Amino acid sequence: MADNAGNRDRKRNIHGPTVSNWNVPPMRLERPRSPDPAARHVLSRVLGDWDGDDAGRRRILLLTSGLGLGHVRAAQAIEAALDGSATVRTLDLWSLMHPGVAQAVHQTYLSLVQNYPQLYERLYTLDEHTWRQILESESGPPPAVLEVLELISRIAADVGVPSARSAKYASDRMLFSLLYSSLPYDANSLAGNGVRARLVVMKWCWMRLIRRLEPAIRRFAPDVIVSTQMIPAAMASYLKQRRKVTAPLIGVMTDFGVHDFWKQRGVDRYCVAHESILGSVGPQFPHAVEIATGVPLMPDFMRPMSQADARQELQLPQAGPIVLVLGGGLGLSVDAACGALLERKNGPRLIAMPGRNNNARSALDVLARKHPDRLRVCEWTERMDIYLRAADVVVGKPGGISVAEALACGRPLLATRSLGGQEGFNIAFLQSHDVGGLVADGELLDRLAALLQDSNALQAMQMRAWQLGRREGARRIAEQAVDLASSRQSAVYRSP
């Protein structure tokens, strides 16, 4: 069984004083932490930090996007797997723009995905032909897209650009206003003037970011580039196609599907989440190699401990079902899910992690005071593997990293909400392999109760999850990066 695969020898007292049972006032199981410092660390990288006397060492550049913690976390996992075998630097897409503008784009995106998930799904699933129509058609985009673009324009106008002390990229503030004003397609807007206005504004924004990325790459002079997000991968691909950059490019997909925008001619290798996804890039890119490495996870996921050891580590009761309720960094729907599960008496114990969502945290604290025997609220943790192994089932947001971590620990995942887009891939993967999926709001109680009451069915689902899990994705991706870097260095040394 999956629970017997753990390493029983690892014991760390990382959670403070020992608690003998669950019947205690709500407490944080570890010192408060936030995912923000990791993202801020990546955002704070400056090109000056990349100077050093490491000539002759392999140089690997990691490209990521701090819009969601998952992509940053994937880059950190790859760097950890490289374990000093190369000089590694990380560049976040959002560090290429004015910090106030970056914050405004973040807030616009979050408003779209949280409040209008159906419209976000519509935009996410556009193929290259529809994007060409949006940019080039005199008549504007198709009706299905028009509503989304107008909504984005309104959200961005309401958000505005927060003040920031940084003078770097200050002109981005004006350009941001120009960009969102060009999105609506009507006679009174800039975009209503036709194709030239749209192309000038939209392509200018895109090219400004690419022009900022180019010197960053040139200064570090990597032997290989690894991107954990599709937008910086597309930017690097653009530079490669124009011979501005010559380093091999690896695209690392953190979801269980391939978005159309990942398909770039400058990408040399694709690392995908599972064998069933191989072939998704398509025959139009015959030069690219697809490898089923698995999603890159932090080192502790390679050898998860047993459930008994995990519960002991967290000072949790050994008997009785425990459900881990997650909402990603945004903490989406965590409080609603816990509220619904607590309505049923004699239900499972819950551990909830609201991420950066302060409103959800406040609501959960109220619930924890009402149900001290059943609910604990915890901060984000570096050791998610322990919490996953301690639980029996995961309820939460189906982000790619969350799904991969749950499967690596042999835990099914029931999603109470999906933002669509990439999460749609992940939901389909869970459902096709019978290890979870999307559950309607009114069905969660019954679905979870039925699963927890049938120990044979639960163990079978956990075993399927364990078998699907890929625990060495980061190591395998690191090997690919080192292989390409070494091959390139050898070619350089052989050159006359």
Best CA proximity match to 338, nearest among 321, 317, 352, 319: 352
Q: Is 362 helix (H, G, I), strand (E, B) or coil?
A: helix
Angle at 13 between CA 12 and CA 14, to 5 degrees: 95
Q: How confident is the model at residue 259 (pLDDT cuts 50, 70, 90)?
A: confident
The domain tally of the chain equals: 3
Within this chain, do residues 315 and 456 fall inside the same structural domain, yes or no?
A: yes
Residues 302, 471: Cα–Cα separation, whole Å:
5
Q: What is the pLDDT of residue 46?
A: 38
Within this chain, do residues 164 and 236 fall inside the same structural domain, yes or no?
A: no
Residues 337, 444: Cα–Cα separation, whole Å:
8
Mean pLDDT of 350-374: 90
Which CATH number fits the domain that encloses residue 334? 3.40.50.2000
- Asked if residue 431 lies in contact with residue 410, where contact means CB atoms within 8 angstroms, the answer is no
Least confident of 125-129, 166-170, 259-263, 332-336: 125-129
How do residues 156-178 score in pLDDT, each as one tens digit?
888 777 776 666 888 888 877 87
Q: How confident is the model at residue 139 (pLDDT cuts 50, 70, 90)?
A: low
Q: Label residue 130 left, alpha or beta by phi (over 0 means left) and psi (-120 to 50 means alpha).
A: alpha
Q: What is the pLDDT of residue 130?
A: 63
Residue 468 pLDDT > 80: yes
Q: 151 is in which domain, residue-wise?
A: 99-208
* Residue tagged 């593997």 (tokens): 385
Helix, strand, coil tally for the chain in percent (to 5): 50, 10, 40
User: In this structure, is residue 196 part of a structural domain?
Assistant: yes
Within this chain, do residues 456 and 327 fall inside the same structural domain, yes or no?
A: yes
User: In this structure, is residue 8 part of a structural domain?
Assistant: no
Q: Is the dihedral of CA 361, 362, 363, 368 positive or negative?
A: positive
User: In this structure, is residue 214 part of a structural domain?
Assistant: no
Within this chain, do residues 348 and 483 fall inside the same structural domain, yes or no?
A: no
φ, ψ of residue 374 to 5 degrees: the values are -120, -20
Q: Is 417 helix (H, G, I), strand (E, B) or coil?
A: coil
User: In this structure, is residue 217 part of a structural domain?
Assistant: no
Mean pLDDT of 20-49: 40
Given strand 249-252, what is the order of strands in its sheet?
A: 87-92, 59-64, 224-227, 249-252, 269-272, 289-292
Q: How confident is the model at residue 55 (pLDDT cuts 50, 70, 90)?
A: low
User: In this structure, is residue 29 part of a structural domain?
Assistant: no
Mean pLDDT of 72-94: 96
Across the chain, what does the average pLDDT equal? 82
Q: Is the dihedral of CA 293, 294, 296, 299 positive or negative?
A: negative
How do residues 335-350 score in pLDDT, each as one tens digit?
889 999 998 888 999 9
Q: What is the pLDDT of residue 446?
A: 92
Within this chain, do residues 442 and 339 fall inside the same structural domain, yes or no?
A: yes
Domain boundary residue among 159, 184, 208? 208
Q: How confident is the model at residue 154 (pLDDT cuts 50, 70, 90)?
A: confident
Residue 255 pLDDT > 90: yes
Mean pLDDT of 109-126: 71
Tokens standing for residue 446: 């019954």
**Residue 371, number of CB atoms within 10 A of its CB:** 18
Which of the pair, 293 or 171, is modelled with greater confidence?
A: 293
Tokens standing for residue 279: 């072939």
Q: What is the pLDDT of residue 407?
A: 98
Within this chain, do residues 441 and 323 fall inside the same structural domain, yes or no?
A: yes
Best CA proximity match to 58, nearest among 482, 355, 472, 400: 482
Residue 4 pLDDT > 60: no
User: In this structure, is residue 159 part of a structural domain?
Assistant: yes
Beta strands 224-227 and 249-252, pairing class: parallel
**Residue 171, number of CB atoms within 10 A of its CB:** 10
- Asked if residue 159 lies in contact with residue 107, where contact means CB atoms within 8 angstroms, the answer is yes
User: In this structure, is residue 448 part of a structural domain?
Assistant: yes
The enclosing H or E element of 340 equals: helix 334-342
User: In this structure, is residue 92 part of a structural domain?
Assistant: no
Q: What is the pLDDT of residue 490?
A: 57
Within this chain, do residues 203 and 229 fall inside the same structural domain, yes or no?
A: no
- Asked if residue 377 lies in contact with residue 348, where contact means CB atoms within 8 angstroms, the answer is no
* 90: amino acid identity, one letter: T
- Asked if residue 236 lies in contact with residue 62, where contact means CB atoms within 8 angstroms, the answer is no
Tokens standing for residue 350: 């819950």
Q: What is the pLDDT of residue 24?
A: 41
Within this chain, do residues 114 and 77 fall inside the same structural domain, yes or no?
A: no
Within this chain, do residues 323 and 443 fall inside the same structural domain, yes or no?
A: yes
Q: What is the pLDDT of residue 164?
A: 65
**Residue 16, number of CB atoms within 10 A of its CB:** 12
Q: Which residues of 19-52 are buried (b: 16+ CB within 10 A; e: fewer)?
A: beebeeebbebbeeeebeebbeebbeeeeeebee
Within this chain, do residues 106 and 164 fall inside the same structural domain, yes or no?
A: yes
Tokens standing for residue 408: 């690596």
Q: What is the pLDDT of residue 35?
A: 42
Angle at 237 between CA 236 and CA 240, to 5 degrees: 90
Within this chain, do residues 236 and 200 fall inside the same structural domain, yes or no?
A: no
Mean pLDDT of 472-484: 97
